[in-house]
Amino acid sequence: MALDQKLLDELTLLARFPRHSLHQGIKIHSNAPEGIQGAAMRLFEKGVIDSPDGGYLTDLGHDLIGHFDHVYSALK
């Protein structure tokens, strides 16, 4: 399995979401790098976040971020 730049951008954006509250999200501004804007759109299309410009994690997003944290912790 190869990690291309698009996948890395999506993982980087996913890692930026707050973990301590379900009521906090992030906003991707129009002047953000194209890679981050594209990552937000792809995560939205996959059902991971609830808005194409960030928003909140969906249930799927919360599950994924938990797995992401486990992988990160194991490799750290």
The dihedral sign for the CA sequence 48, 44, 28, 8: positive
| Residue 48: inside a domain | yes
| Residue 69: inside a domain | yes
Structural domain count of the chain: 1
**Phi, psi values for residue 17, rounded to 5°:** -75, 140
| Residue 25: inside a domain | no
| Residue 18: inside a domain | no
Task: Quick: pLDDT tens for 24-67.
Answer: 899 999 999 999 999 999 999 999 999 999 999 999 999 999 99
pLDDT value at residue 21: 78
Contacts of 33 (CB under 8 A, 6+ apart): none
| Residue 27: inside a domain | no
- Alpha-carbon gap, residue 42 to 59, rounded angstroms: 16
| Residue 76: inside a domain | yes
| Residue 28: inside a domain | no
| Residue 23: inside a domain | no
Which residues are 51's β-sheet partners? 54
Token pair for 35 = 């890679």
Structural domain of 68: 1-12+33-76
Q: What is the pTM of this model?
A: 0.90
